[in-house]
Structure 1
């Protein structure tokens, strides 16, 4: 292996790999929903991923030259081709695996699914300022990559007998074996409901039987149940 050829191949491979990495990383990070607030995502790509690709390209350039057995300049093209094939292939392979890890939303006949819930809060436990925004809060956990706030419309709260009904709708963004709905009453009460749904549920317009929420700090056999109840159903997204 000629070191002169190896150095030129390594430099070209590193630069080209870094240039290829920038648009690929931009697309992958967008698909993952990485925030670009104050240019943080772009800076991460330019100042971290691109230099990392440059270093990786340099090393693969040296390896490619060695594998190609380039000892004369006539073999330069073959060495560069081998090096770029390995480096660009590695970038695209990593990007592909990363895209495959993105949660896929369950669907019904090609339409996204949504979870409709109604939380039934006994009148005695309703805060006096219940219609003030953020007094009641809700979120749906479906894995570390899918933990979202559920919007509540205070104008939609309604009374049914001795309970206040809190309706909400949450789009199901991913297939998940575990889904937990959290419900906060003020700043002191945190309740949770373990949704008994399969990873890929089917639409069903029938409401479930109301069931109690547990104290979110307890679980399993040690669960402490509350008087607040919840019913749910899965519907085709609108």
Structure 2
């Protein structure tokens, strides 16, 4: 839409890449700006002793920069900005990570939402097996969120040096981050082979001929068209 009347306009939001020069992070600046950045030896700091580095600006000329100045990459070129000037125009494009207390609150809300979602799911699909891969994945996600929400904030009286990534001091009943079983207490595991069922044949109403069950109940098991591969022993 065009008009002859004056109208107000604002600049479209843009994002840039930038690294602040601290006086000690030359490697980071060289990785960012390449040969367009270099430090200045003390005996060569003639114009301003505080300018201990230099930047090739817009691929045309060198300018001195001092600690707290920003090296900005914009449209393929580099420019230097004083800290106050930079902060007056630019802000982080990615929100900072919330502090641990806020993060725990956010994770707790996410856990509650997952629990309610799973509850609604079973109301809508009451026949869904409780150990289906989809349900187990949902529960695993909730368990991991609970671990993340409680990490680093045990409520017992033991000092911090008695805590580890595995939990609190031995014998503590706080149950902060479950401890792994001690050596010798590891549960014995036995290799199991997944049962192989016969795939339902046309006209069987989706029922396997080996055990009279539909494939949706074969959680963690297999189906095959080859009768020699069937290991199902029939109806239980």
TM-score using structure 1 length: 0.24
Bigger proportion of residues as strand: 1
Larger CA Rg, structure 1 vs 2? 2
